[in-house]
Structure formats: structure tokens, C-alpha cells
Structure 1
Amino acid sequence: MDLRFRDVEPTAEERAAVDALLGPPASAWEGGDRTDRDLRVAATGEHERDMLLPALHAVNDRVGWISEGALDYICRRLNVPPAEAYGVATFYSLFSLKPRPRRVLHVCTDLACRARGADALRRSIAERLGPPGLSWHESPCLGLCERAPAALAFCAGDPPSASVYGPATAELSDAEEPPAEAAVPQAGQDGLVLLRRVGRVDPASLDDYRAEGGYTALRRAFAIGPAAVIREVIDAGLVGRGGAAFPTGRKWDATARQPDHPHYLVCNADESEPGTFKDRVIMEGDPYALVEAMTIAGYATGCRKGYLYIRGEYPRALARLSHAIATARARGLLGDDIMGQGFSFDIEIRRGAGAYICGEETAIFNSIEGRRGEPRSKPPFPVEKGLFGKPTVVNNVETLVNVLPILEHGAQAYAAIGTGSSTGTKLFCVSGTVRRPGVYELPFGATLRELLTLAGGTFEGRTLRAVLLGGAAGAFVRPDELDIPLTFEGTRAAGATLGSGVVLVLDDTVDLAGILVRIAEFFRDESCGQCVPCRVGTVRQEEALIRLSRRPASPSADLTLLREVGRAMRDASICGLGQTAWNAVESAIDRLGVFAETEAP
């Protein structure tokens, strides 16, 4: 892509897609018709680069791909250099800058689906549609792990549409997608906290939500004030549920104290960790809970604007949240003077486009701002300089909805659940070779054995080989380690991690060496390439694992190389992707003895 405009005209359909989002162009400098004034005044108005990602989505959704003319027109409308816009458009896997069919199929080949027959599905689809290319792609985790093997088809048009398949077969027969509660084996049971409304309320009905206790927490927040809300969250002991486990109240307090304004709230709904799908279930089954929780977070931290950054592979969650936000706004629960309390707050949805790295908190900022989704060096930290250079609080979906029971029942009652260091309940995403996959809610302190018993254990005649905790960035545990308490401190003491709540069950039918190669391939694909340790290390890790999977006579050289590369990535990578890319591989080698049988006598 050249640094300059190429003067390639967009098609009428491409122009209409952009104009529907941005409005008609105001002058020829923005791609409109030339007037006498345009010949004399070279003014283009305000810079609107943060609309770059939505504009790319608009064209991709309408046409199926982004032509040079469409990209040129977007750049003129937003005053963005073409070379930089090209760098953004090529960063995301859901966009194409080459012609392709309007309907594109994405077939998941990641960990949970691989354990449940994704390889056979991929071969069958290749026989019917040909090798992966323009009409279908092999995809990383689609967040449909309870329905593995899964596939997702996007069809461009006005409006665009999507079809979800799971468990998918080569025929890809269209069927109605199951309700959100189908992913919750405990749905309707007493004792649930975060999942209590899933299956009990109509996700589209604000009245249903309020009848089941909705907006009780926001009313209490207004009654006690922002500082008291933050104190409740601190006293409850709530920590982040995305993997880092940072105290939520401390983050809110640090943001609220910043004198620089405006403050921003970002909800990280880009759960792309292989094996994770809990946030999707909340957004599909109880969307108003997230809207209310974000409003409370905005009130406590002094934010007037919140961004909900949702992954692009969640069409139903996107639709339900869009409806919930619009309804809440129409009923006075978002916007100006919420509930007559003089507080103004609104939520804008920003859709990701297929980049795991955008789950990192600073990469989200770059993505929202219309830049490549690359992590930023810290410090400064987001609470000081985050989105648009302003103080920003970032929490994921599960973390935010935990605020509701804290305010409804009080910090003391919340902290009484779980353990002293891990309070409340936790959502676990159970998938793989298990009888009842799905999202389970348990108090912190329950054991891995108890969770697997709830999920029905492995299939009859099969033996448990390993459990992957925390996803691709997590660690494997052996069948004799199932009494590990599912707490942050308990898993840490056992040399594992809770991460985002992934519990991937693998029986004796699963090729562990193949799983490790897939993990390495995932990190190689998803590395943003910004830093050398990660960019080069993930490639070298994959190469060594491929050689080891071929059962060499003497694997010692590659095992030594893996350890050296793993340490370099862990110590020197900019962000968590490179720092954790070696974790699961290391645990498989050291705890499970993968590749040990290949050593020469």
C-alpha cells in the first residue's frame, strides 16, 4: 500500500456502507462532491481516527471484503493516512483486502474442538469445499467450546447475517441456535449468583430483568455515593476474573482519584483465550446485568463514557447487548440524568475483528483508537493514561457483574463466600472430552475433582489423561492432582493457574503432542510481532514442538532449546502473550512427561 491516496473510486455499495456509519461527507476533502469553497479551503474538520475499526467493519459486513477504493474512501472520510489504515486492516483476521465470497465459513481447529473431532470435520469440509482459502478458513477458538466441534459463517449483505454450527458436521445444516441456558448445566438451580437469571428471564426484556432484582444494585450505588461503592468493592475482596487477579477496588479507586478528565471505562468482552466462553453466556443470557454493572462502575470512577469491546465472533451477544443498551437508554437508565440522579453515562459498543492480543488491556486502547492492536509499554498504567491518554478503568465481563451481588447483599455477605483470599463465586468453562460441557458456577475453594464430577467426568471406557487449567496460557495437571482447590492461591501453590476459568478435559484418545503443537501455533499466529522475544520465540517454539511430535530418537537438543526460548519469552516479552506462551508447554513436559518416552535408552 502506497503512502498516498491512489484515487481509486469506491463502489456505490462501499460508499453507502461508510456513509451509513459516518453520515454524508461534508466536502470534497472528505470524499464528497467538489464545490467552489473546496477549491479555496483545505479544511477537513476534526480527526476521527477512532472510527476506523467501525468503518472497516461497515464495508466488510456489507460487501464481504475491503477493496482499495473502499479503504481510500474511509481514509479520506477519517483523515487517516492510507498506509496506516492498511496496517490496521491487515492486523485483524476477520477482514480481507482481497476479493472473496460474501459467505465465509470459519471452522474452529483449537483445543476444545480438536479434542472433540475438529480434525475430522476439517477434512470433511475440505473434501466438500476444497482446501482452506477464500470461502472457508481454519479458525482459532470461536468461544463455542461447549458445542465442539464448532463453526461460524458470516454472510455479507444489508443487513449482514451469521450462522453458528455446533456440534458441526460437514453438511453444516442450518438449525436454530440453542438458548443461552443450554450452555449452563446448572441453569435454574438454587444457589447460583452470577448465573441466577440465565434461563429464568427473557434476555430481551428489561421488565423481566427488573422483576428479578435488576437495577437494585444501581439504586443502592446512588444511595451510598461513589466513594462508598468503591469501599464496598474493596471490602468484598473482589479481584479481576480475567486472569491477572488484580484487586478491582484498588483499580477503581486509583482511577477515581486522577485529577485529569475525562475518565473512561472499558469493558473487556474480547474473551479469546482458547476454551473460554463464560462471558459470552452472560452477555447472551443476562445482557442487562452487564449494562447495569458498567453503569455502576462508571458512577464510582467518574466516567461519563464506557466502551464495551466485544469480540467479533459473538454475533448473538452483540445483537442482545445492542438491544439492551438501546432499551436502557430509552428508559432513562443510560444517557443524561440516569434515574433522576444527575449522573450521565452512556455505553458504546466496539466490535473486535479477530485478534487475541486485543484482550490485553492496552491493546484494546489502540484498537478502539483506530490503531494496530499492539500492547503499550507500562508505565504509565491505564489508571493514569489509558484510552485517548486519559485515566481508564478496564474490567472484564465476569468481574463487572460480580459488583451487582456485592451491592445487593453487602460486602460482608459477599466475602463470606469462598475463601479468605478468593472471595465470591467463580465461573468455570468446562470443555473437551467430558460428558456435560458448559459454564459452571462454584464458590472459590471447591476442588477440581468436585467440578469434574458435576460435569459428569470422562466418557465411559475412557481414562482421564490431563486437565488444562487456564487455557493456552495456563498449565496442565495430572489425574492424581484433582484435589487442587480452585482458588487463586491454591492453584498457584500447585504450580498451575485459574486464568480465565478454562478447564479443558483431555482423555486417553487425545494426542497431547498434537495439542502442544496447536498451542504453539496459536501463539505464533496471535503474536502481534512488536517485540523480538515473542515474535521470534513463538516461531522457534512451534518448530521445536513439530520436530518433537515426530518422535525423534534423541529429543534432548530440542527440549533444551524449548526451555531457553521459553525463559527468554517469559523474561523479556512486552506483554502477557509472550510471557505465558511457554507455560502450558513447560507443564506438559515437566508434569505429564510428554516427549519423555521418545528419549533414547
Structure 2
Amino acid sequence: MSTTLTPVLSRTWDQPDSFTLAAYEREGGYRAMRTAFGMEPDAIVQAVKDSGLRGRGGAGFPTGMKWGFLPPSSPNPRYLVVNADESEPGTCKDIPLMLANPHVLVEGVIISSYAIRSNHAFIYVRGEVLHVIRRLQQAVAEAYEAGYLGKDILGTGYDLELVVHTGAGAYICGEETALLDSLEGYRGQPRLKPPFPAVAGLYGGPTVINNVESIASVPSIVANGADWFASMGTEKSKGFGIFSLSGHVTRPGQYEAPLGITLRELLDMAGGVRKGHRLKFWTPGGSSTPLFTDEHLDVPLDFESVGAAGSMLGTRALQIFDETTCVVRAVQRWSEFYAHESCGKCTPCREGTYWYKQVFKRLEAGQGTEEDLQTLLDLSDNILGRSFCALGDGATSPVTSSIKLFRDEYIAHFTQGGCPFDPAKSTVWAGEQ
């Protein structure tokens, strides 16, 4: 496997006009769309299957297989919905992609919609990112004006309407069925499955829901071929992906590289952990994935290897924390986020995340006991696998993994009368000096 960067989606991000139609076409944009219109829709679906592209939103489900789940006949229209509701702590790849190169997403939407025989597509984007929304709306307007969207695109007889829809800022709407409810004008809450969206999704019609990066990867597959995409990455996790390095790293940012690269290699390119400090813990896929430590620096960042090591690749949101960070405080902040964003539909998540907050508040104030650690684990057991959607499961990941890896630090919070990282007491936990 190559360990060098593979700039495909991010290739033009350093150009001042990268977000415009002129700049995108200057770099070969919309040629893949023309190629796709010369292919049968089923051939495009097969090419995406052959490429090995897996969902880039966190779950890693094969994209082409997902498209293939649509029933061959239905009285209702088919829909393509792009999940651009990026909002998990640490996850920050789709927003810069849409900001710097929105046309690659628009072209991906056109090709993907044609492949699944859909004439209606939606991009559901987080409402707070107004600058991104404006870029997307501009790109869609330019595409309509150029004849790439609307009726009889380029004289092919294919029609496609694309709508940019803004959410109201709810993490739960990143869950695909909650997103559909929100898109239909209802309160965003997960739906009971089955039926799955492929059978009965938006407005009861067959629906494909994909992440921004998944759809944005389609033009390069059509342009360069399935074998080209499959030549990167690992045997089961093929292709490239955007790795988001944030936190205590010298040069944080987006690093587009083949799946299977390691954090050690990425840190080398990013200048390492900030000067004078060392890595303490990190997340391989955002706050909803179990924590890793410096012992996991050489774990290949692909779906299988990360899973075998006890975590999940997720959205490749690599949050880096050095030895000055209190792991209890970090997990407390994440738990507060999940409690705030719980939709309240199911008891395990609604009540479990609430009690997470109460226990962590006691621990951080130095009023906890070792029994509280067992309470946190018991709460996790009652949330994991029992909540209505994956939000509850994700909330348990940092809690259980941090207790497993840093139990002594939890104990220090009540044996030392409060957080040992409190500047009034010390800047570094005494046990690590």
C-alpha cells in the first residue's frame, strides 16, 4: 500500500476560485458526467460495486450494493438524498469539501441519480454552516444554467431536479431515517425499520441515502475506472479517504490518503504532536468511536483493522490529545453533547445519557466513588444495543473505552478531591509525572 497522499477530492482546494464552475471545468469537471450518460445505468452501479467504494459516512456499507437494494419496480418516484448533516464532534471532512469543491458533489449527484434512475435529488445540509449552504446553492444554480440540471440534460432526455435543503441543527438528523422525517417537514426522529429507506424512504418512495464523500467519489470512479479506485487502500477497504486531524497536532487539517494508512504516518506528515508533548489518546473515527492510545499508532486505518483493534474507523475524524488533557473531562464533554442531542424517543438513550451527565459531574467535582465507575458501565450496558438508533451506542463508546484504558485517572478524581488536571492543583496528573 502506498503511504503517500492521494489528492483527488482535495486536489484543487488551494486554488482561490476552486468553488466555481469555471475552475471545476478547467480541471476536467463534468467530463465524468458525459461519460456516464453514454453508459447504461446498471453499468454505473456495477462499476461502483467493482470499485469497492464503501460508505464514507461512518458505517462503511458498500455503496453499490446499497444502490442495488432499490426494488426494480415501484409506483412511487425514486429519490437520492445526500446526508450533509455533518455534526459529530471531531468530524470535519464534508464541510470543507463542500466549501472548496461543491461541484464535485453536484456532479456526483447527477451521475448517482442517473445510475439509480432517480429524477429527484436532495442535499440535506446542516443549517448552521451558512457559508457552505451559499456555496452549494451557487454551484447548483451554475449547474442549472449550464444545462447540467433540469429538463433534458445535454439533450439526453434525462431530467433531474436537485434541491439544497437546510436542516435546523440536530445531530439526530444525521441518522438517515430521522433525516428523512426532517426533510418531509416532521420532527427529526428515527423511524422503525423495516421498511428500510431503499423500499419506503422519502415520501414513501424507494430512496438511496449516501454521505457527501461517498457521492463525491463517484465521478472519479467513472472517469478513471473501478480498477483505478480499487488499486488504492486495502483488500477489503478500497480507495482513498479524507482523514481529519485535529487537536494537539502541529499541522491540523484534512489529509486525503489511501485507506490503511496509519496514524504514525499521518502524524509524520502533520508535524507530529505539538512540540514538547506526547500523544495520550485519540479517536480513530470521531467521538462515537472507542478511544485509542499511543499503542495503536501503527493500526492500519481501514474498517477491518480498526475493528479488530477494538474501535471503529467511522468518519476518520482523528482527534489528537496530549498528556495535558484530562480524559474524564473530555469524555464528560462528549457525554453532555450526546445527552443534549438525544431525540428522547427511546428510554435507554434519553435516560442513560442524562445519568451519564450526573455521574460525570460528581466525578469531576471530586465527589464520586469507585462505585460510580461501575454505574457508568452498567448504564452503558443498558444503552448499547438497546437504543432505537446508533446515537445511544455511540455515546457509550468513549465512556467504556476510557474506563478500560484510564481507570487510574478516574480513581484519581475522587482520591485527590477533584480533577487532578485542575490548574489550581497541577497541570499534569501526578501519576504521569
TM-score (norm 1): 0.67
Q: Which residue of 2 aligns with 1:404?
A: 219
- Equivalent residues of 1:258, 1:391 under 8 A apart: no
Q: Which residue of 2 aligns with 1:363?
A: 178
- Partners of 2:360 and 2:68 lie apart in 1 by 45
Alignment RMSD: 1.7
Match status 1:319 vs 2:140? no
Q: Which residue of 2 aligns with 1:384?
A: 199
- Partners of 1:258 and 1:243 lie apart in 2 by 30
| Aligned partner letter, 1:443 | P
Deviation at 1:265, TM superposition (A): 0.8
Deviation at 1:597, TM superposition (A): 3.8
- Equivalent residues of 1:268, 1:308 under 8 A apart: yes
1:442-457 to 2 correspondences below 5 Å: 442-457=257-272
Match status 1:299 vs 2:114? yes
Deviation at 1:599, TM superposition (A): 7.5
- Partners of 1:325 and 1:565 lie apart in 2 by 46
- Equivalent residues of 1:475, 1:587 under 8 A apart: yes
- Equivalent residues of 2:251, 2:270 under 8 A apart: yes
- Partners of 1:523 and 1:566 lie apart in 2 by 13
Deviation at 1:564, TM superposition (A): 1.4
Q: Which residue of 2 aligns with 1:509?
A: 324
Q: Which residue of 2 aligns with 1:464?
A: 279
Partner-residue secondary structure (3-state), 1:573:
coil
Q: Which residue of 1 aligns with 2:391?
A: 577
Partner-residue secondary structure (3-state), 1:274:
coil
The correspondence for 1:195, drawn from 7, 10, 30, is 10
- Equivalent residues of 2:126, 2:166 under 8 A apart: yes
- Equivalent residues of 2:282, 2:320 under 8 A apart: yes
The correspondence for 2:103, drawn from 282, 288, 291, is 288
Deviation at 1:368, TM superposition (A): 0.9
Partner-residue secondary structure (3-state), 2:384:
helix
1:335-346 to 2 correspondences below 5 Å: 335-346=150-161
- Partners of 2:99 and 2:413 lie apart in 1 by 46
- Partners of 2:377 and 2:319 lie apart in 1 by 24
Q: Which residue of 1 aligns with 2:430?
A: none
The correspondence for 1:548, drawn from 337, 352, 363, is 363
Partner-residue secondary structure (3-state), 2:119:
strand
- CA displacement, residues 343-390 of structure 1 (integer Å, 9 cap, x when unaligned): 000111111111000000001111011110111111110000101111
- Partners of 1:339 and 1:197 lie apart in 2 by 26
- Partners of 1:376 and 1:191 lie apart in 2 by 38
Partner-residue secondary structure (3-state), 1:470:
coil
- Partners of 2:291 and 2:308 lie apart in 1 by 14
Partner-residue secondary structure (3-state), 1:571:
coil
- Equivalent residues of 1:589, 1:596 under 8 A apart: no
Higher relative contact order (CA 8 A, sep 6+): 2
- CA displacement, residues 217-255 of structure 1 (integer Å, 9 cap, x when unaligned): 111211111000000000011110111111100111112
The correspondence for 2:237, drawn from 422, 442, 445, is 422
1:12-411 to 2 correspondences below 5 Å: 191-200=6-15, 202-255=17-70, 257-411=72-226
- Partners of 1:204 and 1:480 lie apart in 2 by 40
- Partners of 1:535 and 1:409 lie apart in 2 by 47
- Partners of 2:106 and 2:249 lie apart in 1 by 33
The correspondence for 2:255, drawn from 440, 443, 468, is 440
Q: Which residue of 2 aligns with 1:568?
A: 382
Q: How much identity, in percent, do the aligned residues show?
A: 43
- Size of the alignment, in residue pairs? 412
Deviation at 1:190, TM superposition (A): 7.7
Deviation at 1:469, TM superposition (A): 2.0
| Aligned partner letter, 1:414 | F
- Partners of 1:380 and 1:553 lie apart in 2 by 45
- Partners of 2:152 and 2:74 lie apart in 1 by 23
Partner-residue secondary structure (3-state), 1:582:
helix
Deviation at 1:203, TM superposition (A): 3.4
Q: Which residue of 2 aligns with 1:539?
A: 354
TM-score (norm 2): 0.92
| Aligned partner letter, 2:182 | S
- Equivalent residues of 2:153, 2:159 under 8 A apart: yes
- Equivalent residues of 1:367, 1:373 under 8 A apart: yes
- Partners of 1:474 and 1:578 lie apart in 2 by 12
Partner-residue secondary structure (3-state), 1:224:
coil
